Amino acid sequence: MIKNVSTALKSSSDNFCIFIDPSITRQENMPSNKAPFNLMKTLAETERIADSFSALLNEALSKPNFWKRPFIQVKDRYDGISKSLRRISAYIRFIHRCTTILEAESKLHFAQEEK
């Protein structure tokens, strides 16, 4: 899950940097037979997992006392991780949205200049 967020952040940042400086080339380390990275799908999947943290922890707390104590000790930490991942996902979506808007406005500007 952390790797997905990291990959999404890198992809979003790369897209923004390529837009700002077109001389930068995308360096993909993906094999040619692997499907292209889908930023929005990855973020949605990560957010879904983060949203399920509290339910998973509550389920663990309902188990026998042997397991209960360790989960009580880490419950707040997992809630913190979940909130952090949601915040990071929101920032990545913001970067992606800004890049998309800037690209569209630039295309519109250049199209109007050509007229």
State the pLDDT at residue 67. Answer: 61
Reported as a single tens digit per residue, the pLDDT across 19-76 is 777 776 655 544 455 566 677 888 888 888 878 877 777 777 776 665 666 666 676 7
**0.85 surpassed by pTM:** no
Domain that holds residue 106: 2-22+38-114
The reply to whether 29 falls in a domain is: no
State the pLDDT at residue 24. Answer: 63
In the numeric block, which tokens belong to residue 107? 């295309």
Q: What mean pLDDT do residues 102-112 have?
A: 88
Distance (Å, whole) CA 101 – CA 8? 18
The reply to whether 28 falls in a domain is: no
The reply to whether 13 falls in a domain is: yes
Count of domains in the chain? 1
State the pLDDT at residue 95. Answer: 86
Measured in whole angstroms, the distance separating CA 55 from the mean position of its chain's CA atoms is 21
Long-range contacts of 98-105 (CB under 8 A, 24+ apart): 98/16, 99/12, 99/15, 99/16, 99/19, 102/19, 103/19
